[in-house]
Amino acid sequence: MGYERYHKTLVEVKTIRPHVKELVDRCGTMQAAAHYALVAPNTIGRILAGANETMQKSTASKLMIALEHRRKEDRSNNRTHKRLLKARQQQARIDKEFET
């Protein structure tokens, strides 16, 4: 009949959170990332805060496509946003401290 159960249109937020964080780091702010991905800024905030366990698959798709496009833009411009570089450096320091 073409009817699809509602739960099949949801994805777990924890699977998309690292990608959303990268998008925010690449864009500079949550508002810029939301504008780039064509979603509401509070959607980004709720994802990063872990306010919801699931989200619409269509919203997750928008965010993943936006991240893919932003990565391509950064590569073609031979630049990475300062905030992303800072986040990567901080994560490298944390990983290094954790190993010792």
Give the residue, 87 or 9, on which the prediction is more confident: 9
DSSP 29: S
- How confident is the model at residue 32, as a pLDDT? 94
- How confident is the model at residue 4, as a pLDDT? 58
CA-based nearest residue to 12, from 44, 63, 57, 45: 57
C-alpha pair distances (Å), 36 with each of 2, 32, 69, 94, 97: 32, 6, 10, 29, 34
Q: Does the pLDDT at position 1 exceed 80?
A: no
Q: Does the pLDDT at position 3 exceed 60?
A: no
Is residue 19 in a domain?
yes
The count of domains in the chain is: 1
Is residue 67 in a domain?
yes
Is residue 40 in a domain?
yes
Question: What range does the domain containing 51 cover?
Answer: 6-99
What is the spatial distance between Cα 78 and Cα 94, in angstroms, rounded to a whole number?
26
Is residue 82 in a domain?
yes
Q: Does the pLDDT at position 72 exceed 70?
A: yes
Is residue 1 in a domain?
no
